[in-house]
Amino acid sequence: MKLHRRFLGSLAYSAGGFDTLRLPRNYVYSALQFCLIADIDRTADAGDAKDSAPAQLVQTLEVVVNGKNTIKRMDYETLHRRNQMYHGVRPFIDAANLAGYGALDDDISKVSAQFDFELPPQGPWTRGVDCLLDARGMSSLDLNVRWGQPNDIMNDAYGGVVTVNSAKLLVWTLERVNAPVVPYALWKEYQLLSHTIAGAGVLTVDLPVNTTYEAVTIKTHADGDQVNTIIPFGLALFNPIRLYSGSEVYLDIPAGAVQINNRNDCQIEVPELTLSAAAINHARQEFRLEGYYHLPFVHDGLLSEMLDATRLGDLKVDATVAVPGDQNVLDVYLSEIILPATPAEAA
């Protein structure tokens, strides 16, 4: 199979609006890639820009096949950071001027991300392929974009006005040409819920049990900022994350340990603090990815390692949470692998 890249065009920003881009259906998709470019004015006030701003101008990206089946659905901010987890490098971003809350005039910012249809450990630089999106024979393939509001790029402390003079989302592909016509597994990613935390204690989330999981990702933010303090980790604070079904426990360790493992397992480099533009001493500081807790099941690209929840009676995740801000939110994102039907099932 040969690799093919092509530019599909761009969508123009419309505050609170909705756009659809029809995608070609003559090849097999390995990835759908994006770059958001925005021209922004901002009045000075207190507060700060959110993580990976201006990514919040894209509220939701969604890939829908055959008019009804959503296989990818995620906010652009989280997609940008999940790419960092899966690829071991943060996608391109050039938005340093947005740090802080100072006035801006025609500031140009850029942030990129991509929807992967092929598991990155089995990406286009290796031989084996487990997951792909085969668009050949589909009746339709659409990219839906729901746009956010200009002030969405700032945290809750900001009281000024952001103006988006213009912005565009550029879209291009990474495809496989002459891919065999065989059943491929499908990688489905979506946000399960966004839960506002009422008070400190154990928060339990029920996960669907009719599927097979590649990973579960938890994200925490307070007052618009990504924070580790909702599930704190320190000398006297070992707030855990626990994943289990009945008496079977798949994970039960402090949340901070999950983030420490993520650095090694996902090869994540985090040289910056989310809310700091200051340089750090790399001889003594390497950070966790703030506010993200990634629970992977597939470590070497082998789908046999997935968590099979199709025969479980329940599947739950517990997080022992605190409430450091006024609005404390825990999000859960699911990564499923939909396996192709066996010959017996197809019959």
- Under DSSP, is residue 286 helix (H, G, I), strand (E, B) or coil? coil
**Whole-prediction pTM:** 0.94
Strand partners, 99: none
Least confident of 84-98, 296-310, 318-332: 296-310
> Residue written as tokens 């000024």?
160
Report, as an integer, the average pLDDT of 169-197.
94
Q: pLDDT tens digits for 202-246? A: 999 999 999 999 999 999 999 999 999 999 999 989 999 999 999
The per-residue pLDDT for 305 is 85
Q: pLDDT tens digits for 164-181? A: 999 999 999 999 998 888
Q: pLDDT tens digits for 48-106? A: 999 999 999 999 999 999 999 999 999 999 999 999 999 989 999 999 999 999 999 99
Report, as an integer, the average pLDDT of 325-330.
98
Q: Does residue 347 carry a pLDDT above 50?
A: no
Least confident of 47-51, 64-68, 149-153, 275-279: 275-279
Report, as an integer, the average pLDDT of 183-195.
95
How many angstroms separate the CA atoms of 60 and 189, rounded? 12
Q: Does residue 129 carry a pLDDT above 70?
A: no
Complete DSSP assignment for 83-126: HHHHHSSPPPEE-GGGSSS--EEEEEEEEEEEEESS-GGGSTTS
Least confident of 114-118, 141-145, 260-264, 298-302: 298-302
How many angstroms separate the CA atoms of 295 and 297, rounded? 7
> Domains (ranges, CATH) in the chain?
1-184 (2.70.9.30), 191-340 (2.60.120.730)
Question: Which phi and psi (to 5°) does residue 270 adopt?
Answer: -125, 85
Least confident of 14-18, 47-51, 285-289: 285-289
Here the tokens at position 53 are 């701003």
